[in-house]
A = this chain, B = another copy of it.
Amino acid sequence: MSAGGLGEVETQDALLFTGQEPLVLESGARLDEVEVAWECYGELNAERSNAVFVCHALTGDAHAAGHHGDPARRGWWDRLIGPGRPIDTDRFFVVSPNLLGGCQGTTGPSSVNPQTGQRYGLEFPMFSVRDLNTVHRRLLDHLGIGRLHAAIGGSLGGMQALQWAIDDPMAMELCVAICASARLSPMNIAFSTVAREAIMRDPDFQGGRYHDSERHPNIGLAVARMMAHITYLSEESFMEKFGHERRVDGAEPGLGPDYEVEHYLHHQGASFLSRFDALSYLYLTRTMDYFAPFEEEGIDAKLAGNPTKVLAISFSSDWRFDAGHSGFIVDRLKAAGWDAEQVDVESPWGHDSFLLDVPEYHELVAETLVSGELPA
Contact = CB atoms under 8 A, between A and B. Distances in A.
A58 to B, nearest CB: 15
Contacts of A222: 197, 201
Contacts of A189: 259, 261-262
B183 A244 contact: yes
A233 B191 CA distance: 12
A201 B223 contact: yes
A190 B286 contact: no
Interface string A246-278: 000000011111010110011001000000000
Interface string A121-160: 0100010000000000000000000000000000000000
Contact of A202 (B126, B219, B266): B219
Contacts of A223: 194, 197-198, 201, 223
Contacts of A304: none
A185 B283 contact: no
Q: Give the bracket for the number of chain A residues in contact with chain B.
A: 35 or more
A346 interface: no
B244 A186 contact: yes
Contacts of A269: 197
B186 A259 contact: yes
A76 interface: no
A233 B193 CA distance: 16
Contacts of A242: 186
A243 B186 contact: yes
Query: Chain copies in the assembly?
Result: 2
Contact of A219 (B196, B201, B254, B283): B201
A193 B229 CA distance: 12
B235 A193 contact: no
B190 A238 contact: yes
A257 B186 contact: no
A282 interface: yes
Interface string A45-77: 000000000000000000000000000000000
A342 to B, nearest CB: 19
A282 B256 CA distance: 10
A208 to B, nearest CB: 9
A355 interface: no
A227 interface: yes
A194 B226 contact: yes
Contacts of A262: 189-190, 193
Most B-side CB within 10 Å, residue of A194, A223, A227, A244? A194
Interface in A148-201: 183, 185-187, 189-191, 193-194, 196-198, 200-201
Most B-side CB within 10 Å, residue of A198, A200, A289, A319? A198
B253 A126 contact: yes
B187 A230 contact: yes
Nearest to A225: B194
Most B-side CB within 10 Å, residue of A223, A230, A257, A262? A223
B196 A255 contact: yes
Interface string A193-224: 11011101111000000000000000100110
| 6 A-B pairs with least C-beta separation | A186-B238, A193-B262, A187-B238, A186-B261, A194-B226, A201-B219
